[in-house]
A and B are shown apart, each in its own frame.
Chain A
């Protein structure tokens, strides 16, 4: 993700400004009951992602997004079927059971599910537009500006660095085990997985023991240098964020929200 972020056209933008903008829009999408607001937020997120990455996302992140969408569909499906039994059903004649779940889709529950779906999708695009344009040292810089303790910021950066180091090691061991038919049968798979985890853990302890003196010998003092500093947060970030939030709120307040149950299920 860092490679993607360093190549982003938004890399020099203030990380704190981007964080403020993203967080404000996420909260606004949550506060509004009008489906137009998350839809507009989603559009803002998509535009930022397009500008930042030209949609050149690595396939692993693409798969993660698809998985997140699957989870959203399941989650929103649950909200949809948990309608108030005192209200009329708009999908089936009455409450029906599927496996162990009672299905009672009402107009309100169906509309609510769509609202949540768009909030979730808008959230994903906004968060990814932030992550794909902000390298981890810039995030650390933003956290320091927020007066988070130096030790905590250091741990955050180190967790990020080591997470990918461990993932790489695990992948190598996983492939090696696969070549030796280590995943042949459930019992052997479990044993192999446990063995890989132990070895990764032991390697990680050895890496930890070696890293400290190695970093200290290179004059490491707890901070990671940034050679091209991003811009600092300016007044224009607050103005931009406030203007976007107010416009979205006004849109959400004055434009009547569409009834998804009527549009998709024909409910009157």
Chain B
């Protein structure tokens, strides 16, 4: 759930922009550097962005009767790192705001922070920890994708609470927003985890080099 245009007070829009922009600029620098050194990587980076757009455009039914979508940033964070994902998420969020009326321009900073930074960072940490613990690629991907999805929605609930929770009390507001925007996402996060876990298994079997040279052996063994 992206925060819609006009929903946050201007002070909070500014705060989230200030927090998100340095990481996005870092991602821009990193991507510019990658493209200047290896121009052939350009298409792959662009397609990764397009893939995030595609995943976040896939509407899946939610338990509330409405529909929701996977974030797709968990996979990107595992494959390309947090700052690159933050930049790609910025491009995707901008297109979604302009073309699909999903999200907004003034709330872009807040949406970048939840979907492009917090979610991918949690996914990356989860993936790293689970791979260190010698868990398989599909299992690690399941938890990484699920955590990315859940953290995105929990952070969105937190952003709404700090903006609107003052009157009713932050605790009450957080629980209300969490139950509306996050807990309804638990089944969705599990579904996204399962789908991306299957996805990772297929990739590990067919193209293990995507996960880095050290996983090539493991992928070949599982195939």
Contacts and interface: CB of A to CB of B under 8 A. Distances in A.
A binds B: yes
Interface string B95-131: 1011111101110000000000000000000000000
Interface string B35-68: 1100110111111011101110110000000110
A155 B32 CA distance: 10
Contact of B47 (A70, A124, A204): A204
Contacts of A108: 167
A71 B66 CA distance: 9
B182 interface: no
A101 B88 CA distance: 36
A123 B54 contact: no
A26 B105 contact: yes
B47 A101 contact: no
A191 B13 CA distance: 40
Contact of B176 (A70, A82, A120): A82
B199 interface: yes
B218 interface: no
A79 B164 contact: yes
A238 interface: no
A204 to B, nearest CB: 4
Contact of B43 (A84, A101, A119, A208): A208
Interface stretch (A6-14, A163-171, A229-237, A245-253): A163-171
A202 to B, nearest CB: 7
A104 B176 CA distance: 12
A159 interface: yes
Interface size class of A (residues with CB under 8 A): 35 or more
Interface in A22-36: 22-23, 26-27, 29-31
Given A30-B13, A75-B4, A190 B51 contact: no
B167 A82 contact: yes
A208 B101 contact: no
A116 B99 CA distance: 21
Nearest to B210: A205
Interface of A: 1, 22-23, 26-27, 29-31, 38, 61, 64-65, 67-68, 70-72, 74-75, 78-79, 81-85, 100-102, 104, 106, 108-109, 116, 118-120, 122-124, 127-128, 130-131, 149, 151-152, 154-156, 158-163, 165-167, 170, 190-191, 193-195, 197-198, 200-202, 204-205, 207-209, 211-212
- Which 4 pairs show the lowest CB-CB distances between chains A and B? A119-B6, A123-B5, A158-B46, A194-B198
